[in-house]
Amino acid sequence: MPSRVRITANFQQNLHSIQEFLVEQKAEAGFDSLITRLFEDVIPNLDRFPKMGRDFLARDPLSDEGRAKLHTLKMRSGNNTEIREYITDEYLFLYAVRDSVVFLLSIRHHRQLSFDLRAHWL
């Protein structure tokens, strides 16, 4: 059965950013571990259990700016798309579930800055 998990261009750019970050930190082996974990654990798990992550849109931001950005994200994603967050090891994944397909939107190492949602998907 083919995987229902799709990797977006933004996600690929984030992987490149993580690789650069780990090289700067002199932790290059961490990137190999991430890729192994991504393809051996994360993608198969999301393929089988697409709702395993926390509902990202159910958050209650504390700032007006945060509430406004979350509102915009809800409007852009539409009613048939769920935005979810999955945390594993040192990484945070942001993904969308639409029509039983999982779109990996963003990934960040926990020591990197927050998600960039400006061009977050497809």
pLDDT in tens, 77-90: 667 888 899 998 88
> What is the model's pTM?
0.79
5-108 sits in which CATH class?
alpha beta
Do residues 94 and 56 lie in contact, with contact meaning Cβ atoms separated by under 8 Å?
yes
pLDDT in tens, 44-55: 999 999 999 998
3-state secondary structure 70-98: HHHHHHHHCCCEEEEEEEECCEEEEEEEE
